[in-house]
Amino acid sequence: MDDSMTSTSSPAERLDLEPELPVTPPREQRRVLVSSLIGALIEWYDFYLFGIASAMVFSVLFFPSFDPLVGTFLAFTTLAVGFFARPLGGAIWGHYGDRIGRKQMLVLSIVAMGICTTAMGLLPTYAQVGVAAPIMLLLLRLVQGVAAGGEWGGAVLMAMEHSPKRRGFSSSFPQIGLTGGILVANGVFAAVAGLMSEEQLLDWGWRIPFLFSAVLVIIGLWIRLGVSESPVFLAEQKKQAQDPTRKKAPLVEVFRHPRTLIVTILLVIGPFAVSAVYLTFAASYGLQVGFSRSDLLTASIIAAALGVIGQPIFATWSDYIGRKKVVAIGLILQAVTGVLFFAQMNAGSVPGLYWSISLISIAHAICYAPLAAWLGELFPTHLRYTGSSMGYQIAGTLGGGLTPAICTSLLIAAGGAPHSELVVGFTAAISLLSLVGVLMAKETYNAKL
C-alpha cells in the first residue's frame, strides 16, 4: 500500500479493483448492504437482549437465593458464557466460510440464534424447576454464543467484498445492524416494561421480547437467502481449485502468524469493553444509585440510536483519512467520557445521565465504526473470515464478556455504589490498551483486497 497518497482524495480515486475481479452490479450491492444490515440487526437483537435481561430481571428469576449484588454477578457470569463461546463460533464459521462460502454460514447462524432466543422465552424459572432453570439458561446461552461468533465476520465480509471501493462505508452496514439490534432490543424491552407492573414483568412479560425473535428470524432468513455469494470469495475459490498446494486449514494458518491476530484483538478489546460498561453494567449500577428502569432503558436507547447514526459517518471518514487516525481519536475520547458518565450517574441526574451516555456512545462509535473494514483488510481473502472473526470474537470474550462481571467485582471491592472509581479506571485503561493495537497495526484504507 502507498501511505503517501493524499488523504483528501476520494476512496474511488485511490482504489482500483483488480482487473480480473468481477464487479457486483450497483443494484445487487445495495441489496447485499441492506441484507447485511437487517440480518445483523436481528442477530444482535437476540444476543444483546440477553444482556438487558441479565441486568434487569435474570438475577431475580434465575438466581433468587443470593444477595442481590451477588445474583447480578451470577447473571453477568451467565452473560459472559455467550461471549466465551464466540471464538469457537468464529473458528467454525470462519473455517467453513473461507472454504465453502460466506452466504451459507450466515444463513446457518441466523437460524441457530433464533432458535436459542425463542427457547429462552419458553424457559421455566428457578421458582418453577429449581437449579435446572439456570443450567438450561446457561446451555442456551452457550449455543447462542457459538452462533453469534460466526455472524459478524460473515456479514462484514459480504458487505465489503461486494462493495470494495468504499470499504469503510459498506462494512458499516453490519455495524449499523449491530447497534440497531441493541436499539431494538432496548426499545422492545422498554415497551414491555412500560406497559405492565413489575410483578407482571417478572411473571411473564419478560418472555415477550425473546419470543418476538421468532418473527424477526423468519424475515431475516428470507432476506439472506436472496443475496449472491461474494465475488471476491468466488475468485479465491477458483484460485484454490487451480492450485491444490494452497493451504486448506485457515485456522492453522492464522495461528502460524499470530501477530496480526494479536493486533486485531487489541484493536477491538477497548471498544467492546466500554460498550459493555455503558450498555450492560451501567443498567445494574443505575438501579443501585436510584435510577428507574425506564430512565436506564431510555438512556440505552439514546446511546444505541447515536451509534446507528454515527457508524456510517465515522466509517466513511476513515475511508478518507485512514483507519488509524479515526480509531485513535475515538479511543482517547472513550477514556475521557467514561469519567463524565459515572460522575453524572453518581449525581443522580437524569438529564446528566442522558447527555453523558450520549458523549460516551459517540466516542465509542468513532473508534468502533472503522474496525469492521480494518480487520478484514488485515487478512488475505483465503483467511479473511477466519482471521477477522477470531480476532473480533476473542476480543469480544475478553472485553465484552468479562467486563460486566469485572466491573461488578471492582464495585464490590470498592464497597458498592456509588464508589465507581475502580470501574472508571478500568474503562480508561482498557481504552488506552487498544491504542497499543492502533500503533502496531498497519494502515490499510488505501490497499486492494
Query: Tens of pLDDT along 282-307?
Result: 888 888 888 888 898 889 889 888 98
List, for residues 185-195, the tens digit of each pLDDT value. 888 888 888 88
Q: How many domains does the chain have?
A: 1
CA 83 from chain center: how many Å? 10
Is the separation of the CB atoms in 201 and 108 below 8 Å? Answer: no
pLDDT at residue 69 in the model:
67
Identify whether 19 is part of a domain: no
List, for residues 133-148, the tens digit of each pLDDT value. 888 888 888 888 888 8
pLDDT range class, residue 371, cuts 50, 70, 90: very high
pLDDT at residue 239 in the model:
76
User: Which range has the worst mean pLDDT, 2-11, 47-56, 67-76, 314-323?
Assistant: 2-11
Identify whether 12 is part of a domain: no
Identify whether 121 is part of a domain: yes
List, for residues 139-175, the tens digit of each pLDDT value. 888 888 888 888 888 888 888 888 777 889 998 888 8
Could you give the CA distance from residue 63 to residue 5 in angstroms, rounded to a whole number? 57
Could you give the CA distance from residue 256 to residue 390 in angstroms, rounded to a whole number? 14
Identify whether 32 is part of a domain: yes
pLDDT at residue 4 in the model:
36
pLDDT range class, residue 1, cuts 50, 70, 90: very low
The torsion defined by the Cα of 213, 215, 219 and 221, in degrees rounded to 10, comes to: 60
More confident residue, 19 or 133: 133
Question: What percent helix, strand, coil does the chain show, rounded to 5?
Answer: 80, 0, 20
Identify whether 8 is part of a domain: no
User: Which range has the worst mean pLDDT, 62-66, 323-327, 377-381?
Assistant: 62-66
pLDDT at residue 19 in the model:
45
Identify whether 356 is part of a domain: yes
- What is the pLDDT of the chain when averaged over all its residues? 83
Identify whether 445 is part of a domain: no
CATH number, position 84: 1.20.1250.20
Could you give the CA distance from residue 117 to residue 181 in angstroms, rounded to a whole number? 14
Domain that holds residue 148: 26-440
Could you give the CA distance from residue 150 to residue 140 in angstroms, rounded to a whole number? 16
Q: Amino acid identity of 350?
A: V
Cell numbers 447480578 correspond to what residue? Answer: 72
List, for residues 87-116, the tens digit of each pLDDT value. 888 888 888 888 888 888 888 888 888 888
Identify whether 297 is part of a domain: yes
pLDDT at residue 290 in the model:
87
pLDDT at residue 248 in the model:
64
Tell me the three state secondary structure of residue 314. Answer: helix
Could you give the CA distance from residue 228 to residue 163 in angstroms, rounded to a whole number? 13
pLDDT at residue 273 in the model:
93
Examine the pLDDT at 21 and tell me if it is beyond 60.
no
More confident residue, 357 or 29: 357
Q: Amino acid identity of 377?
A: E
Examine the pLDDT at 59 and tell me if it is beyond 50.
yes
Nearest to 217 by CA among 40, 97, 86: 40
Can you give the pTM of this predicted structure? 0.79
pLDDT at residue 224 in the model:
80
More confident residue, 98 or 211: 211
Examine the pLDDT at 201 and tell me if it is beyond 70.
yes
